[in-house]
Structure 1
Amino acid sequence: DIATLGVIINLADYVIGADKGGQTSFFDDFDLDYNKYTYLYETRVSGALVNPKSAMTIQLVTGGTPD
């Protein structure tokens, strides 16, 4: 059996982007239980590895030899 424990990447190979130029959304809500306003800023962010084969996985092999 093989269990994946983690993934290692170099952040120099990783590109981060946002939709609509990083636009943020603002929400507010009044909470009657605590008698105060709750505020939330939200944005959507995505990322991707841009170099092929640039990630390494850490795997645990049990019950035999790795292939």
Structure 2
Amino acid sequence: MAVGYAILEWIDRYDSRRLLAPIGNVPHTESQARDHANVGEQASAAGPKTNSLQETRGGSVPS
């Protein structure tokens, strides 16, 4: 049983607490949380534009 707990502790440290240089010396779980937050911001920034085709072409397109 003690070996099982030791393995689980190692896995927890490996997955959520070790620092990784390629992602800015932050734990993997923290980097993932930051990435998921940025995806939400990018999705809202890439939303539909407020200008319609008529506005951009000066009303030259028939309705």
TM score, norm. by length of structure 1: 0.19
**Bigger RCO of structures 1 and 2 (CA < 8 A, at least 6 apart):** 1
Structure in which a larger fraction of residues adopt helix: 2
TM score, norm. by length of structure 2: 0.19
